[in-house]
A and B are shown apart, each in its own frame.
Chain A
Amino acid sequence: MAAIEAENLRRTYKQTSGFLRRRTKTIEAVRGIDFAVDEGELFGLLGPNGAGKTTTIKMLVTLLIPTSGTARVLGSDVVDDARTVRRKIGYVFGGDRGAYERLSGLDNLRYFSELYGVPPKVQKQRIPELLELVGLTGRERERVEGYSRGMRQRLHIARGLLHDPPVIVLDEPTIGLDPVGARELRHTIAELARAGKTVLLTTHYMYEADALCDRIAVIAKGEIVATGTPAHLKSAVADRTVIEIEAYGAPEDAIRRLRDAPGVTSVAVEDREHAQLLLVQAPQGSVLTQQLLGHLDGVRVGRVTAREPTLEDAYVSLVTEN
């Protein structure tokens, strides 16, 4: 039995605007997705902002009712058997809100232990273990309002594990963390998977998914556009080369010209501090550099390099080409 199953899962939102003339707009956040996560698997749901990752997660943790389709967690339906699903699942979300600021970290954990029905004897043993696991031992009696973002995030993780759930859902857990904090958190997530937990992780950090996940589903505009192991997804762009062009103030029409250039498969733009990094994908063996630079006529160009594609390039390709 799969730990998590989603079948034709769909969720639409209705947005209304106007006071006298009410206008209703329907937004399709998730458009009938199917996926299954095996028990003990660390599964990544990857996608850009607004792709439908968090909506999918909220349906799985019973906070949203699907518009249509079904989802089950260890065989329990997320709508018909929501309470059982809540017992089986630990939900950890990113960001620094979501804990009681006026309570200490310890009291937050004690309160949620009660809500998850963890007996007092078990609480006494488990809470110190979890504090140790997430590195909050010694700070647990301080009010959460004094915690750093990383500490709050680690507290969220401890809270999601209080009832020792077999399935853990982590919604962008490393968002906003400093590199050291994010690395420690990734280590904790890997430990959970090694301990036999089923983990569903959403992120838009490719290296995180590459380093952690057994399998990945890429979601874009509410649809799953690819599923597979990181190696499998990378192989989809193995026959390509990536040309990185450092540019200063490249206008939109120059980037459009690059996209339309013959032989170019996709173009992604990363904004750096003072520059833009243009990531141009093209079939391997293409000799395009001079042609590309020609399209950037009048734009100051810095370093230009060609390299092998990474998982991030596979992701960019999947998201932009779909």
Chain B
Amino acid sequence: MSVAVRNRMSYGRDQRLRQTLRIFFHGGYFSYRALFNWQSPRFYVPTMLAGPAFQVLFFAYLGRYSHVRDDAFYVVGNAVQVSGMSGVFGVAITVGGERWTQTLAPLLATPANRMALFLGRALPHIVNGFIVSAFGFAIGRLLLDFHPGLGTIPELAVVVLLSTTTCTAFGLVVGALGLRWRDVFTIANPAYFLMLLFCGVNIPLSALPKWMQVVGSGMPLTHGIAAARRVAHGASLSSVDGLIGKEALIGLCYFAAAYVLLRVFEAEGRRRATLELV
């Protein structure tokens, strides 16, 4: 193979990589702006800040009333879980919303790399989920008895970011199901509450029946919340590396499952003529 041919092939590969990265980053940014009202404070504050804040307060006060656990237990569990507002609902809308706006057909008529197209859409929701979680922690710090050491905050942030990412991967699976079933919320709503029950948010995993523990250990956030609780109590990241590793692995599995499901349901939609049903 001549040098000129090799150079041309290498240029072609670089060009494709650049295009894929642009779809991942720019596409994710545009789709977020295109499909969500949440850019406006009018929608963002009640949905992404007030709702999650009330959830943190509700369970913390319920915990105080029932004298089961301290505030920190509920603040960490709920502040991490509220990232699902963005990670589950937001990402689910990235597919369901395309049906409502009837843009799914023109979108799927493009030659865009599907992995970059759909996974890129998760990116703004990871950032948003992290902000929502951080706000939940801030509420706990300001209004409840939750006072982690300043030194723990960077490490806590790492665990929360990982958990938010895993939760978003789970949201992509829910969104992929939206390609198969028309109303994505019939899946997203139970999925959100499923996490509340199975992931050790308000009830320790060990207190759940065995089968629920098994389900919970395969859910997003379960290991992340456990790691975040220990880090908030002063444990180092290295001491919770097992939990972090499990959370990361589960996140990767959900990302892979989401990609496979999106491709399968896209192909099925073309076969069954269901892509444009609203």
Binding site for B on A (CB under 8 A): 13-14, 58, 61-65, 83-84, 86-87, 89, 91, 93, 97-103, 107, 110-112, 114-117, 119-120, 159
Contacts and interface: CB of A to CB of B under 8 A. Distances in A.
Contacts of A119: 15, 18-19
B194 interface: no
A86 B109 contact: yes
Contacts, number: 89
Chain A to chain B: the 6 pairs with minimum beta-carbon distance, closest first: A100-B34, A86-B111, A111-B30, A115-B110, A97-B102, A115-B112
Contact of B103 (A65, A84, A99, A114): A99
B270 interface: yes
A107 B107 contact: no
B105 to A, nearest CB: 6
Interface string B51-62: 000000000000
Nearest to A156: B106
Contacts of B107: 115
Interface string B255-278: 000000000000000111101100
B27 A64 contact: no
Given A115-B27, A117-B19, 11 more contacts: A14-B272, A62-B109, A86-B109, A91-B109, A93-B106, A97-B102, A101-B101, A114-B27, A114-B30, A117-B112, A119-B18
A97 B101 contact: yes
Interface of B: 15, 18-19, 22-23, 26-27, 30-31, 33-37, 101-103, 105-112, 117, 270-273, 275-276
B119 to A, nearest CB: 14
A77 to B, nearest CB: 14
Given A65-B270, A117-B19, A159 B111 contact: no
B21 to A, nearest CB: 10
Contacts of B23: 114-115, 117
Contacts of A115: 23, 27, 107, 110-112, 117
Nearest to A160: B106
Contact of B275 (A63, A97, A99, A101): A63
A99 B102 CA distance: 8
Given A97-B102, A99-B103, A107 B110 contact: no
Main secondary structure of the interface of B (DSSP, over half): helix
Nearest to B108: A63
Contacts of B15: 119
Contact of A102 (B22, B34, B110): B34
A100 B35 contact: yes
A111 B34 contact: yes
Contacts of A63: 105, 108-109, 270, 275-276
A89 B108 CA distance: 13
B27 to A, nearest CB: 5
Contacts of A86: 109-111
Contacts of A89: 109
A13 B275 CA distance: 13
B103 to A, nearest CB: 6
A273 B108 CA distance: 41
A107 to B, nearest CB: 6
Nearest to B278: A97
14 contacts: A13-B273, A61-B109, A63-B275, A64-B273, A100-B30, A100-B35, A100-B101, A102-B35, A102-B37, A111-B27, A114-B112, A115-B107, A117-B23, A159-B106
Nearest to A116: B110
Contacts of B37: 102
Contacts of B111: 83-84, 86-87, 115-117
B30 A110 contact: yes
A100 B271 contact: no
A98 B102 contact: yes
A65 B106 CA distance: 16
B270 A62 contact: yes
Contacts of A58: 105, 273
B113 to A, nearest CB: 9
A116 B271 contact: no
Contacts of A159: 106
B13 to A, nearest CB: 14
A13 B107 CA distance: 23
Contact of A107 (B19, B30, B35, B272): B30
Contacts of B102: 97-98
Contacts of B271: 65
B221 to A, nearest CB: 30
A111 B27 CA distance: 6
Nearest to B23: A114
A118 to B, nearest CB: 9
A13 B274 CA distance: 10
Given A62-B270, A65-B271, A100 B22 contact: no
